[in-house]
Structure 1
Amino acid sequence: MYEQVRHFIGISSGHAARLSREQKSRIVATCWTAQMFKHFENPKPGYVADWPDLPSWQQETDADIFEAIEKSLS
């Protein structure tokens, strides 16, 4: 998931910084879901829930994760 987000930030040529926190959160959530399907045959529904179905604390955490990865690359 880290590599997916890092690559996304890299190919945006610095413009990912212009994304809203919600957009950043959605990217992390989507990358997480893809990794769950990659590594688990039948992941728990909560592990692959669509972004709008995530609790607000998880949405905020996902945005924090994106921003931490973003900061580590600068």
Structure 2
Amino acid sequence: MSTNTSLEKRLALVEAAIAELQKQMAVPQPTNWLQQITGSFKDEPAFEEVLAYGRAIRQGDETLLEVQDKL
């Protein structure tokens, strides 16, 4: 008889844990901010220019920056 009682208690604990996990899964998880903005600038003409500036800075190409300063 005590085996059944013990088994019933364990089953009740498992069911409670499953219910808690289901509740946690129902709450929407925050998404990565980078995934939210990825691709949002693809049709923006200035974005390509920004990428070119970043590339020039990383590669040490100061000429692109100097041309912009003269404009």
TM over 0.5: no
Rg comparison, structure with higher value = 2
Q: Bigger relative contact order, structure 1 or 2, given CA contacts below 8 A and separation 6+?
A: 1
TM-score w.r.t. length of structure 1:
0.29
TM-score w.r.t. length of structure 2:
0.30
